[in-house]
Structures are given as C-alpha cells and as structure tokens.
Amino acid sequence: MVSTLVALAMAGAVSGTHRARAQEMEPRAFSVSPVGTNFLVAGYSRSTGGVSTDPSLPLTNVEAVITSGILGYQRSFGLAGRAASAALLVPFINGDVRGDLEDQSRQVSRNGLGDVRLRFTANLVGGPALTPAEFAQRAPTTTLGTSLTVVAPTGQYNPAYLINVSSHRWAFKPEIGLSQPYGNWFADASTGVWLFTDNPNFFRGNRRSQDPLWTFEMHGGYNFRPGLWLAADATYYTGGETSLNGTAKHDLQANSRYGLTLSVPILDGVSAKLAWSKSLITRVGGSFQTVGLTLQYRWFDP
C-alpha cells in the first residue's frame, strides 16, 4: 500500500516529462531557412525542482531530477513556392523522484527511450522558397508560419508501472507563429494547442484521458551578428485536465515560465545554444528550473 501511494503521489513529478512539451520555449521556431538546408542536432537538458502533489496524501518534500538527451535531424525545402521544413527528434529520458511518506523516504526512477517527435512547418507570409545565394541577399521581413508536431507512442512503456518514460498515446500540436524584425532586434509570438488520444492501458488496464492543453509563447531578442543572438523567453499554458476511466482528476494546469536563450557560432556551420528557464507560477505539476545545451551542425545540399 505504501509503495502504491508513493507512486500515485509522485506520478505528477515524472509526468513532468510529458508536461515538459508544454513548458518548452523555443525562440525563432518559425524562422525560415534556404531550400536544401540540413541540420543535425544533439542536445542535453536537466530539470530540477519541487512537485505539487495531492494534499490529501501524507507525502511531503517531493523533488525531481529529470534529464534528457536528444538527437534530431531537420531539412528545409520549398512547398508551393513557400519555405517549409520537416524534423525528426528522438529523446532519451531519465527521471528520479524522491519524497517523504510519513517520515520515510521513498524514491522512483525510470529511464529509457522517449516518444519520437515529428514536426512539419510551412511559411504563410514573408518567407518564399529561396536558394542559399538568394537567401543571403534577402532583407529580413515579417513572417507568419504554421506547424504541426506529432508525438508517436514509441518510447519505453510498461502498464504495470504508474510512471513511465512514454505516455503511451498520440499527441498532436497545431501551432501558428509570427516573427517581426526591428533592425537588429526581433520579436516572436506563437500559440498552439496539444491534443491527446487516450491511453487505453494506463496502470493495470485503466483508461487515461486528457483535455486539450493550450500554449502561448513570446520572445524578444537581439542579433549581435549572424549566428550570435540572445533572447528573453516566456510561456503560459493552460488546460490539460486528466480523467481516469471518465472521472476527472481536477488537475487543470495554469502555469507559466520564463527564461533566456543564447546562440553562439563556433565554426563554419556549427553553433551552440544554451538555454535556461524557471517556473514563475505552477498550479499543478513540477516547479522546475531547467538548463540545456544544444549543438547544431548545418550544411547545404551540393
């Protein structure tokens, strides 16, 4: 009974690996690239912090450490005369959650391959399909783009565990984003919604559902020179109440985060991105501080 209570109470902590998708802040996510540009990306992030749990449970001092590594590939191309891109991302996740149950310390750990993510973007305004030479001559202008992210249930999952690396369901996020340059300054804004299918085999055969989760992002930054820029980031996400076998869990989210992102060129075609973010308001789930480092290699088609 004790281990079950701990797992139930701590589920909100490692489910932060699932909620992390809403917490993401990505400046310049709708920026366009020349046709035939390829990106290879490798990254690492670490999130630490406390977790809000059901106050009816005798569980206190819940802390979580969630680390993840990613490997991804993106390619840009032309679509009906507009700039577009497609990306594939594969994560590896490790979660370690600790808490005190009636003065006894308990711990839950999980690690393994996470759910594969696909993202397709298409520019609607201000981003025609250009070759690298044409792109280098273009003047920055207002751009409006749209995207669709699909998360497939490919990660490690065991229905005997309440906490898993994979969410064992499909997730879809349509999104629209606007980018506006002001000389060397830039501003981005986007809004989207996560839509989830049910997990029909959640913890010993239960069915888990989740309502749509709305996300809003804003970024403002400065270009020091090509490839070197700094951005301030903010996000707010709301909704996402879960249900178990049709019974609502009353865990509606209304959370916000803020952070900074720095992009630094290293070599020709190679850059590094350092990101830091922290929870501002957390109604449900993890109140995390996150740091991440991403390395990116870019090359053009011959």
pLDDT at 180: 96
- Cα Rg of the chain (Å, integer): 20
Model confidence band, residue 25 (pLDDT cutoffs 50, 70, 90)? confident
| pLDDT at residue 22, rounded to an integer | 52
pLDDT mean over 240-244: 91
Exposure on the CB side of residue 97, measured as CA atoms within 13 A: 30
Q: What is the pLDDT of residues 109-134, one digit of tens each?
A: 889 999 999 999 999 999 999 999 99
pLDDT band, residue 3 (cuts 50/70/90): very low
Confidence of residue 186 (pLDDT cuts 50, 70, 90): very high
Max mean pLDDT range (8-12, 136-140, 173-177)? 173-177
Residue 45 scores a pLDDT above 80:
yes
pLDDT, tens digit (0-9, with 9 covering 90-100), for 55-78: 555 667 778 888 999 999 999 999
Question: Which of 7-21, 68-82, 235-249, 271-285 shows the lowest per-residue confidence on average (mean pLDDT)?
Answer: 7-21
215 contacts 195 by C-beta, under 8 angstroms: no
User: Going by C-beta distance under 8 Å and a sequence separation of 6 or more, which residues neighbour residue 103?
Assistant: none
In the structure, what pLDDT confidence band is assigned to residue 14 with cuts at 50, 70 and 90? very low
Q: Is the pLDDT of residue 2 over 50?
A: no
For tokens 């589920």, what's the residue?
11
Q: What is the arithmetic mean of pLDDT over 26-54? A: 89
Judge whether residue 108 has pLDDT over 50.
yes
Q: Is the pLDDT of residue 232 over 90?
A: yes
Q: Is 2.40.128.130 the CATH number for 2-300?
A: yes
Average pLDDT over residues 282-296: 88
Name residues whose C-beta falls within 8 Å of residue 40's C-beta, 6 or more positions apart in sequence. 72, 73, 296, 297
pLDDT of residue 8: 36
pLDDT of 17 strictly over 90:
no
> pLDDT tens digits for 93-102?
998 888 776 6
HSE-up of 92 (CA within 13 Å, CB side)? 7
Q: Among residues of the chain, what percentage have pLDDT more than 90?
A: 67
8-22, 122-136, 139-153, 160-174: range with lowest mean pLDDT: 8-22
Mean pLDDT of all residues belonging to the chain? 87
3-class secondary structure for the chain?
A: CHHHHHHHHHHHHHCHHHHHHHHCCCCCCCCCCCCCEEEEEEEEEEEEEEEECCCCCCEEEEEEEEEEEEEEEEEEEEECCEEEEEEEEEEEEEEEEEEEECCEEEEEEEEEECCCEEEEEEEEECCECCCHHHHHHCCCCCEEEEEEEEECCCCCCCCCCCCCCCCCCCEEEEEEEEEEEECCEEEEEEEEEEEECCEEEECCCEEEEECCEEEEEEEEEEEEECCEEEEEEEEEEEECCEEECCEECCCCEEEEEEEEEEEEEEECCEEEEEEEEEEEECCCEEEEEEEEEEEEEEEECC
Q: Say if residue 141's pLDDT is above 90.
A: yes
Task: Provide the pLDDT for residue 121.
Answer: 96
